[in-house]
Amino acid sequence: MDTVTQVNPPAASAPAAMSGSELLGKALKHHGTEVIFCLMGGPMHDAMRTAMAEGIRCFDVRHEQAAAMMATAYARVLNRPGVCMACSGPGVMNLVTGVGQANADCTPLLVLGGAYPVSQHAKGAFQELDQVALMRPITKWAERIYDTHRIPEIVATALRVATSGKPGPVYLDFPGDVLANTVDDSKLRWGAPHCERVPERSCADPASIERVLALLDGAKKPLVLSGTGIFWSDAASELQAWCERAGIPFYTTPQGRGAIPEDHPLFFPHARSTAFKEADFILIVGTRMNYVSSFVAPPRFSAKARRVRIDIDPAEISISRGLDVGITADAKTALTQLLDAAPPNLSAQFEDWRKRLAEIEHNKKDSSATKLNSNEEPIHPLRLCREIRDFLDRDAILAVDGKDILDFGRQSIPTFVARHRLNSGTMGTMGVGLPYGIGAKVARPDKQVLVLHGDGSFGLNAMEIDTAVRHKVGVIVVISLNGGWCGDPNKTRPGRDLGYTRFDKMAESLGCHGEFVEKPSDIRPALERAAKIAKTGQPALVNVLTDWRAVSGGGNFAFYST
C-alpha cells in the first residue's frame, strides 16, 4: 500500500468546508483522471460538475452500459484505468453488462455509482437497492462509502486494487447524504497520486527459468501463446525479443493481437491448427487456459506437449491442469529473465519447424484468396473485410463486434500495434463495438479508429452514434448488413431475421455521415469518404449489404452437452 502523506488539497483555492461531491471530483483529478464516461442523474450531479471544473472531460452517453464499455476501451488502449459513473438504482444496474465484460477481460475500471441516502436505509428510500451486492460478483472489489472524509482514501485504495496483480474493475457506492455532507478540508489525507505510482514487478524463481530452458532444449516444435496480460505488463517488446531470440512461432488470443506485428516472419495464422496440434512445447504467457484456447488441451493440442505457464496471479497457476512448470511472475520481468538466460544459438534447432509452418501458411493463404477478391452480389463478408484491411492505416485501432463478421474479420484483418485490436472478448458480449470505438478514439484522437459491426450487434448500442456526434468523436463505423443475427444459408434459425435496416439514414438523422453500399467496387470509395469526414470530428457510418448465406465457420466455443 502506498505511504499516506499529509498534504494540502489539490486545489489551492478550495474552501474550508468541502462537500463529498466536491471531494470526489477533486480526488479523481488528484489521481490523474482525464476522462469520465457517464450518464447524468442524482445524486452524482455535483460530483460531475466538480470534475468538469477540475478539467476532467465528461462524456455523457445514451445508456450506462455503453459508458462502462467506453471506459473499458479507453483503459485497454492507454494501459491505465478507465472511469465511468452512473446515478443510483437503474443507472447502476445498467452498468452491469459493461462492468461484467471488463471483469471477464481483466480490465481495470473505476466504477462510481450514486446510491440512496444511508439515513434512509431500510425505510423504502427512492431507488433503495444493495448495489454493492450487485457489483461484488463482477468486480475485484466493491465497497460503499459511509464517511465523507474517507473519500480520497478509498478512491486511492480502489485504484490500487484495480491495477495490482491481475487487473480488473472496482466499484464504489456513494450514498446521497455522504456526497452532500461537508468536511473540514484541513483534516483530509491525500495519498500520492496514483498516476505517479511505479508498478512493482515480481520475478520468476531462477530455478524455474532454468527448468523452462531445459524443457525447451528438448523440444522440436515449440510455440508461444500470449494474451492481454502482455499489454498490462507492458511486455510487448520483451515478448517479441524472446520469440526472435528463440526462433519460436507465436500466436495470441483475439484480444491480445498486435503484441507482435502480424506480418512478422514468426507468425503463421493459416497454420494455427497444425501448430497447436503438433507443438511439443507451449509457453503460455499473460493469458488464461480457458475456452478461447480450448483449455490448451487435447484434442486441439497434443497430450504429450510440455506446458509452461507464466501468470501474475497465483490462483491462475494453481487451477491450471497439466502444467510442467507454473511461474507466478510479472510477464515483462519473466520474459526478460528468459532472454538473459537463453543460449545464443537456440533459434537454429527449430528451423525445420518454422519451414513446415511457413509451407502450410503459403498454401492456405493462397486458397483463401477467392472469397477475399469475390465480386459477387450480395457482397461476401470476406470481400468487405479485405477492403477494410487494405484501407486501414497500419497503426489503426480496429474494434470488431458481431458473430460471423467477427470471425471473418479475425481470419482476414491483421493488427500490427499493441492494444489496437478490440472485440467482444472472453464474455462474448454483443454491442461493444461502437462504445469501444468511441472510447478508443477518445483515448487516441490522433489514430484512425474503425468499428466493424454486425447489424444485430450494432442495434444494441446504436444510439451511441448520437454520443459520437455530440462530442465530435470522428469514428468510422462499417456495418455488415446481412439482414439478421448470424449468417444462415437456409434461414432456419428462430428469431434470426431483422430485415435490412437503413442504419445509414438513421445515422444521418442524428448528424452522422451515412452511406449505403451494395456493390463491392463501391466499398473503398465509401471508406475513403468516411475517413475524410471523420478527420473533421464528424462520425461516419457505411452500411454495406452483405450475403446472408455466408457463414464464417468460426469456432463453436459453447458446449452445452456433456
Region of residue 428 (phi > 0: left; psi between -120 and 50: alpha; otherwise: beta): left
Note the pLDDT of residue 185. 85
Q: Which sign does the torsion angle of CA 81, 82, 86, 90 carry?
A: negative
Note the pLDDT of residue 226. 98
Flag whether pLDDT at 479 surpasses 90: yes
pLDDT tens digits, 270-290: 999 999 999 999 999 999 999
Confidence band (pLDDT; 50, 70, 90) for 153?
A: very high
Flag whether pLDDT at 476 surpasses 80: yes
pLDDT tens digits, 327-340: 999 999 999 999 99
70 neighbors 61 (Cβ within 8 angstroms): yes
Domain boundaries, the chain: 4-192, 206-365, 369-545
CATH of 206-365, one of 3.40.50.1220, 3.40.50.970, 3.40.50.300, 3.30.365.10: 3.40.50.1220
Q: What is the mean pLDDT of residues 158-171?
A: 97
Residues 202-207: contacts with CB within 8 Å, 24+ apart? 202/312, 202/328, 202/329, 202/330, 202/333, 203/329, 203/330, 203/333, 203/334, 203/337, 204/310, 204/327, 204/328, 204/329, 204/333, 204/334, 204/337, 205/327, 206/337, 206/341
Confidence band (pLDDT; 50, 70, 90) for 3?
A: very low
Instruction: Compute the C-alpha angle 354/332/305, nearest 5°.
Output: 40
Let me know if the fold of 4-192 is the same as that of 206-365.
yes
Flag whether pLDDT at 2 surpasses 80: no
Flag whether pLDDT at 7 surpasses 50: no
| pLDDT above 90 as % of the chain | 89
Note the pLDDT of residue 195. 85
Note the pLDDT of residue 198. 80
Question: Which DSSP symbol is given to 2?
Answer: P
Confidence band (pLDDT; 50, 70, 90) for 295?
A: very high
400 neighbors 409 (Cβ within 8 angstroms): yes
DSSP character string of 198-246 = PPP-PPPPHHHHHHHHHHHHT-SSEEEEE-THHHHTT-HHHHHHHHHHH
pLDDT tens digits, 79-134: 999 999 999 999 999 999 999 999 999 999 999 999 999 998 999 989 999 999 99
Q: Which fold has domain 369-545?
A: Rossmann fold (3.40.50)
Question: CB-based contacts of 8: which residues, under 8 Å, 6+ apart?
Answer: 190
Residue whose C-alpha cell is 453488462: 97
Question: What b/e sequence results for 97-117 when a residue is b if at least 16 CB atoms lie within 10 Å of its CB, and e otherwise?
Answer: bbbbbbbbbbbbbbbbbbbbb
pLDDT tens digits, 49-69: 999 999 999 999 999 999 999
Confidence band (pLDDT; 50, 70, 90) for 6?
A: very low
Query: Which residue in 521, 223, 266 sits closest to 386, CA to CA?
Result: 521
Note the pLDDT of residue 192. 86
Domain 4-192: homologous superfamily in CATH = Thiamin diphosphate (ThDP)-binding fold, Pyr/PP domains (3.40.50.970)
Note the pLDDT of residue 161. 97
Q: What is the mean pLDDT of residues 158-172?
A: 97
Note the pLDDT of residue 559. 45
Peptide bond into 378 cis (omega under 30): yes
Q: What is the mean pLDDT of the chain?
A: 94
Note the pLDDT of residue 191. 78
Q: What is the mean pLDDT of residues 213-217?
A: 98
Note the pLDDT of residue 13. 55
